Amino acid sequence: MKANGSMASHLEADRSSLLGQARRVVVKVGSAVLTSPQGGLDEERIQAMCDCFSRVQEKGYELVLVSSGAIAAGTKKIGLGRKPRSIPEKQAAAAVGQARLMWMYEKCFERKGKVVAQILLTREDVADRKRFLNARNTLLTLLKWGILPIINENDTVVTEEIQFGDNDCLSALVTNLVQAELLVILTDTDGLYDRDPKTHPDANRISVVKEVDERVFSLVDLTMSDVGTGGMISKLQASRTAAIYGVPTVIASGKSPNALERVLGGEDVGTLILPKENRLNSWKHWIAYSRTVSGALVVDHGARKALVERGKSLLPSGIKEVRGSFGAGDSVSCIGEDGLEFARGLVNYSSDEIRRIQGCKTSEIEKILGYKFFDEVIHRDDLVLMI
């Protein structure tokens, strides 16, 4: 909430200290920032934004840009007259618009003597560990060379099963991918409010959010803009993902002049979401948020308690039910007897194998299967609590 006097000075000092530590920053720019009221790309605003980003780079920051806008740009270029609805329509619009979007960035950054690179990702690229590491190596090399990576979801080949759904989610995964220290989400609003500022003129901007919980989500309606995809809900979800990795997020207006410079300068703009104190390491963050969940294991109360309270591995004796079909190495949800997910992990056995050994002691695995690779169905090093 808003603060006055010495309290305001204290909050600004803390904010400046926290954000001042960041040197590698992921910046997500939404479609609503990049497009004009008439549709299509707003070249004047994009040039001003690129000028700002260039000045930030010259101060020694490493930037990774996650940019929406391809579908919106393609929709205008094609003359469709409405937002594409089906996956094939979105793919076609993106195929046209992505070229125009990158041409715009190329032109704007070239005026400042900067080189940019295009990276297109799908969820499969971050869910597969080898492809995840390949993407990381490419991005880190570009940053080493002083080149600005511009990332977008690969809308031209995406399907319902592998799409990120919005670039807010993608930007949070990219913070882990490049091991960034700050996520900045530039949108068409200047942060989170305690009420809808469009209908409540006296609404107050929330300066700092300690934790994105149900109370915070309750402040936002599940709405979608005409050009964007996720609304404030997806931005809060992205900030929560980044927070678990130990990365703070600032949600601010990309239409505000020099927004990124003001954020990095520690000014009280937008909404700052604080990071978790007990961050996940990169491996566990990848398990929890980058991997696609392929099935579920329902575990009994004793096994749940052992996993949550004592940091134990999941043994076959604690498994009551296997849901879905999956192979060894896949990611699965761990569900309690209350039906709620409390953990995710990588399994050492396939769904068929686990069905045969569920409820049994580890000493019985080899007798039942004819072999034994591991005592644990999920080792604690490959398990992440989601509560």
Please write the tens of the pLDDT for every residue from 330-359.
999 999 999 999 999 999 999 999 999 999
Please answer whether residues 362 and 315 qualify as being in contact, where contact means their C-beta atoms are separated by less than 8 angstroms: yes
Per cent of the chain over pLDDT 90 is 61
**Residue range 169-215, pLDDT digits in tens:** 899 999 999 999 999 999 988 999 988 787 888 889 999 999 998 88
Q: Which domains does the chain have, with CATH numbers?
A: 5-281 (3.40.1160.10), 292-385 (2.30.130.10)
pLDDT(369) > 80: yes
Three-class DSSP category at 215: helix
For residues 345 and 282, which has the higher predicted lDDT (pLDDT)? 345
Whole-model pTM: value is 0.80
Distance CA 33, CA 50 (A): 13
Please answer whether residues 25 and 61 qualify as being in contact, where contact means their C-beta atoms are separated by less than 8 angstroms: yes
Selection from 37, 115, 44, 50 nearest residue 76 by Cα: 37
pLDDT(10) > 50: no
Distance CA 295, CA 176 (A): 24
Please answer whether residues 294 and 324 qualify as being in contact, where contact means their C-beta atoms are separated by less than 8 angstroms: yes
DSSP class of residue 380 equals G
Least confident segment among 80-89, 160-169, 209-218, 243-252: 160-169
Selection from 90, 101, 94 nearest residue 74 by Cα: 94
Confidence grade of residue 221 (pLDDT, cut at 50, 70, 90):
low
Give the distance, in angstroms, between the CA of residue 185 and the centroid of all CA atoms in the same chain: 10
Q: What angle do CA 1, 191, 223 make, to 5 degrees?
A: 115
Contacts of 241 (CB under 8 A, 6+ apart): 169, 172, 173, 289
Question: Burial level of 219, CB count in 10 A (0-12/13-18/19+)?
Answer: middle
Distance CA 178, CA 346 (A): 22
Distance CA 79, CA 132 (A): 36
The pLDDT of residue 196: 79
Least confident segment among 164-168, 270-274, 346-350, 372-376: 164-168
Distances (CA, A) of 255 to 20, 46, 167, 280, 329: 23, 10, 18, 33, 44
Confidence grade of residue 6 (pLDDT, cut at 50, 70, 90):
very low
Unique residue bearing structure tokens 């205008």:
76
Token pair, residue 198, equals 């469009």
Provide mean pLDDT across the span 65-90: 87
Token pair, residue 133, equals 């590491």
**Residue range 227-280, pLDDT digits in tens:** 444 588 889 999 999 998 899 999 999 998 899 999 999 999 999 999 988 788
Distance CA 292, CA 125 (A): 11
Three-class DSSP category at 32: helix
DSSP-assigned beta bridge partners for residue 183: 26, 249
